Structure formats: structure tokens, C-alpha cells
Structure 1
Amino acid sequence: MPSANPALDEVMGRLASLRQHERDGRRSPHKPLLVLLALGRLANEGSSIVPWSVAEERLADLIAEFGPPSGTGRAQSAAYPFTRLRRDGVWTLDKDVPDDRVSPLRTGVTGHLEGSLERLLREHPALVSSAARSLVDAHFPSTIAPDVLLAVGLDPELVDDDAGGAPLPKSERRRSHTWPAAVLEAWDRQCAFCGFDGQAGGVPVGLEAAHIRWFKLDGPDSLDNGLALCSLHHKLFDRGMLGLDDDLAIVVSQRFSARTAHGRAIYDLHGQRLSPRPGTTLPAEKHVVWHREQVFHGSPLVV
């Protein structure tokens, strides 16, 4: 249903084409990350222009941090969305260069949001927040969406305050309202990794139901795709700093580092096997493998 804001409808309608975020089970948030980077520059500098010299570093950083693990070189991974986003009608380059090739981009090529789209965003500044919030919510779980916004130069709290109106079109798939409580109950209302079981008035506090395969990437609301995790370990799991191996032992990434005793306690999780109560549905192998291939970053600690 159209909103009362035609400009919002047009912006969201044009960004809806970026929802093809997954192919053959692989995440591909590269285009949304480039648009978010451009939105951040528009909000902070008044222009969405992104020189390739900037994208080669910043976009590559974003893809490495928030995209799936990949053996593709940094510059090459940034070149894919920088050149191919032109096909979606929301991105323009100032030179006609071939898709995917890095060398031509290093001749001083710049990109920016398509002219009419950028004009709409300049005329209606609140739409920048709406577009950013809708994009990040469409492609990332809520645990790491604020991290993505910060990384592109947007304040998550200001985006939450300013954003409003129609989100990007969503699929007909709806979350189960009973799944979170069922997951927490199955794991005895305690973190499956550290055992945290804080409550206030009999209600769990700081404990969350985590999808192993993200719901936004076709992860089901089933008990074999859920873990009860404290807020910290949920975030580290979704950021790919924690994972599970084939024996359902916790794996800590070598990319994670800490100096204090509290932070270094994460290292102690490495190698600990999940120990649920008898009868609890264990994570399905297919979901664990998906997380390992699409979310976990780096190599496991060597002990």
C-alpha cells in the first residue's frame, strides 16, 4: 500500500531491487554495503560521491567485516558492486568502464547515487535515515545492524529517531511469535555458551533466542536452528567471532582479541561442547555448516 509520502515510496521502491541478497545459499550484501557507504557520505558530506580510491579501502573493509568469508582479493571484492550496481538503476560511474576489472577503476573513476535518486534524498533529508535503516534491516540481523551503520558513518540512534515510513517490500514469510520462548525454554533459560541465566522478576534478562542460519537468509524458526545466547555471545556469534564445529564444540576466531581478563574469558569458550539438558533438540548440521561458511570469520584458535 502506498504511503502518504510519494518521495519515500519512490526511494524505497528503487532500493527494493537490492533485496536479491543471496544466491545458492551464499550471502551477498556487497551492493547494499556500497549504497549504505554512499548514504553515509551524503549525510556527512552533502554528496554521495565515492571515489574508487575510497571504495577500494572502505568498501573492501565493509565487505571483509560484514560479508561472508571469501578468498577474493580486497580490491576485487569491492570492484564487483562498484561496477555492477549500475544495473540496478541507483548507481552511476563517471566513466564507462568494464564490469569487475580493477585496473580501469584506478584511473580516477568515481561513483555516486543516480542523479534523480540523490536529488530526492537531498530534498528530503529524513529519507537518508529511512533508506539506511530499511537497507540494513533487510540484509543483517538486529544484533549487528548498529555496527554496520556506525561503520558507514551513520549514528544508529539518530537513524532510529529519524527513520520512518514504509520499509523495503518484504516477503510473505513471517517470524514465529512462539519460537523465541521455545528456544529459551529448550536451553533451560541460560546461555548455551557461558551459562548466563540472569532474570528479573522471573523473566530472563540479557538472554536471547539466536538463529544459527539467519532468518533473513531463509533460516527456519525451528528448534534445530536456535540457540539461547546471552546478548554478548549472540552478537559475537552473528559477527562471526564465535561458531560451532562438527562436534558442536564452540569455536573462537583468531580475529577476536582482548586484553582484559573479562574480554579474554571468550578464549576459554574455545573447545567447550554444548551441553543441553537431555531431550533438547541439537543444532542441525546443515545450519551449523551454513554459519561456518557464511558467517564465521578467520581461522579457529589454535590451542
Structure 2
Amino acid sequence: MIEEFIQWYENINKARAKDYYAPHKPITILYALVKAANDVRWIEFNKDREKLESIISEFTKYSTRPNCLQPLWRLTNDSKTMPFWTTQPSNIVLNSKGDIPTGSAKENNFKAGFSDEVYNKLKENKAHIHALIRYITEDNFPGSLHETLWELLGVFDLEVQAPPQETITTTVTKVKRDPKFPKLILSLYGNQCACCGLKINFKNNTALSMEAAHIKWKARGGDCNEHNGLALCPTHHYTFDRGIWTLNSDYRIELSDSILINRKNDNFFTPYIGESIGRFILNEELLPSVGNIEWHRKNILK
């Protein structure tokens, strides 16, 4: 069943809004998987709306709160050939956009989730649930954000299960991890944080606490090369992936307009606004591509 689940997931029509990648459906599926791990059959609009929309909002570009009814209902359209998702009641009158009106969802106690067969099979082997959570998370988000997402979803509260015997495979081509990428990027920036310049030497190890960040997320097709990487300390890596700061076309650091920060006492961001990451790179011919920077500004910057 786990292979069929992956096939269904790979073929869903991923949500997009104004050309931004918006992982409404993957997050909704993750939410349903966590519920299934807790032996809960449905995502109920009246009970789960606030929490689900809050999680989706954390990982999308929207400045306004998303409407979770869209993925809850539209996943049924992705299940016409493979009946993995269902809703109750199924006879609600849709609006002109093909979605369920909020008022109708409230009045009819609208709920959505996996089909009976899929839900029962997941309950029989909850190790599959953990494998699927990891698979879908890695398919959509960089590693720096996994713990934040899992904390919000409640993954860490689940009983740990042994991994399934089956190997999850897919025919869909994905960007593979390049084990050389971290060393390549850290060496390019002299083992210094491209934002703050932090460099730690401990027992002749100058790469300590430095991380290689993808500018265009690997999960979204970003390359593992010099033109798509930054050497960053953990703080600036996490905040870069959360969209708190970015780069402009001149490689200068910009802080999100959505972030409220006490600049008088801020030592993490304010001192570096307007500074160029080029001041640390050892080969200016290998500066990040403008296309990757534009992707980050368009999709990740809050």
C-alpha cells in the first residue's frame, strides 16, 4: 500500500497561487497522517480549521490567512483514479470556483480524510505513517525546517515506530543529494557565514557550525552547485529558509518587511543589512545566480 500511496501523492496537483509554490495539499496530507497515527479518522473543518490554516500559513508566501477548505476538498479531485481521499458530506453545493463555501462547511460539519481502506491500512502498520511523513516532508522542505514543521504538526508526540520493511521508491525524478555540496560551498566562502562572517576554529576545524544552504530549495528542484549555495551559520541558515532575510540582485542582504525587530538591540540582522555576501566569497565568478535569488525572493521571503 505504501508504494500506491506514494504514487497517488506524486500525481496530486500541487497547489499554486500567483505562481508561488504553495504546499497546501502536502501539509494537509501530513496533517491527516498525524491524525491517523493518533487513530483519528477525519480532519474536521469546525475543529481543525484554525490549527491547519495556521500551519499552512507558516510555510506559504501568503500575507493573508489561507483557506484550508481548498486542499481539503480539492484532494478529492486528485483521487478520481486512485480513491485515497474522501469527504463527508459529499453533496454540498460548490461555489463558482468549484470550492465549498465556508458557511456550508460550518453548517454541514464538513470533514475530509483518507478513504476507509487507506485509513485502515495505515492503522495496521503505523510505521508506514512515519515513513510517509518523512518522505513528504523531505519532498517539500529543506532539512532546516523539518523540526519546526513536525513540532507544529505534533509528530514528536507520536509513538515511535520501527521503519517499514519496504523501500519507498518512485518513478518521479528528484534532485538527488550531492555529498560534495556542503564541502564545496563552505570552501567557497572560506568556512565563514556569508551573512555575519562568523568563523570558528576549534582543534583546527574551521568548518565547525557552518552549514551549506540551498538558495533555491533542493526539494523544489534547486541544483547542488556553487551558484545555488551559501555558507551560513545555523541561525542565518534557518532564518534564510524561513524567509526572514534574502538577497537582492546585487547580492546585498535584505530583511523582510514583515519582520518586526528591535534594531537597537539586534546583533543578528541589522548590522548586516545592505552588506554584500561577495565580501566573503573566494571566487566572485561563482556568486549565486540571479535566477536562484529571484526564486528565493518570490517564493520564500515573507
TM range (shorter): 0.7 to 0.9
Deviation larger for 50-59 or 20-29: 20-29
Per the TM alignment, residue 273 of structure 1 is displaced from its structure 2 partner at its CA by 2.5
CA contact (8 A) 2:252 2:274 kept: yes
* Deviation digits for residues 137-172 of structure 1 (CA, Å, limit 9, x no counterpart): 11111110121111111118966x744543352515
Q: TM-score, normalised by structure 1?
A: 0.82
Q: Identity across aligned pairs (percent)?
A: 24
Count, aligned residues = 286
User: Alignment partner of 2:190: what SS?
Assistant: coil
Within the candidate set 62, 65, 69, 1:74 is matched to 65
2:3 aligned residue: 9
The 1:75/1:64 distance shift into structure 2, 3 A limit, reads closer
CA contact (8 A) 2:14 2:25 kept: no
User: Alignment partner of 1:197: what SS?
Assistant: coil
**Are 1:288 and 2:293 an aligned pair?**
yes
1:184 aligned residue: 186
- Amino acid of the structure 2 residue aligned with 1:186: L
Per the TM alignment, residue 117 of structure 1 is displaced from its structure 2 partner at its CA by 0.8
CA contact (8 A) 2:57 2:66 kept: no
- Amino acid of the structure 2 residue aligned with 1:83: W
Q: How many angstroms apart in 2 are the aligned matches of 1:211 and 1:62?
A: 23
The 1:83/1:168 distance shift into structure 2, 3 A limit, reads farther
* Deviation digits for residues 111-157 of structure 1 (CA, Å, limit 9, x no counterpart): 12111110011111222211111111111111101211111111189
- Amino acid of the structure 1 residue aligned with 2:197: G
**Are 1:117 and 2:108 an aligned pair?**
no
Q: TM-score, normalised by structure 2?
A: 0.83
RMSD across aligned C-alpha pairs, in angstroms? Answer: 2.9
Q: How many angstroms apart in 1 are the aligned matches of 2:15 and 2:219?
A: 9
- Amino acid of the structure 1 residue aligned with 2:283: G
Per the TM alignment, residue 224 of structure 1 is displaced from its structure 2 partner at its CA by 1.6
Per the TM alignment, residue 228 of structure 1 is displaced from its structure 2 partner at its CA by 0.7
2:101 aligned residue: 102
Per the TM alignment, residue 288 of structure 1 is displaced from its structure 2 partner at its CA by 0.9
User: Alignment partner of 1:210: what SS?
Assistant: strand
Within the candidate set 237, 252, 256, 2:240 is matched to 237
Aligned counterparts, 1:232-271, within 5 A: 232-256=235-259, 265-271=268-274
CA contact (8 A) 2:281 2:287 kept: no
Listed as ranges, the gaps of 5+ residues in structure 2 are none
Q: How many angstroms apart in 2 are the aligned matches of 1:109 and 1:136?
A: 26
1:4 aligned residue: none
Q: How many angstroms apart in 1 are the aligned matches of 2:30 and 2:247?
A: 30
Within the candidate set 193, 215, 218, 1:215 is matched to 218
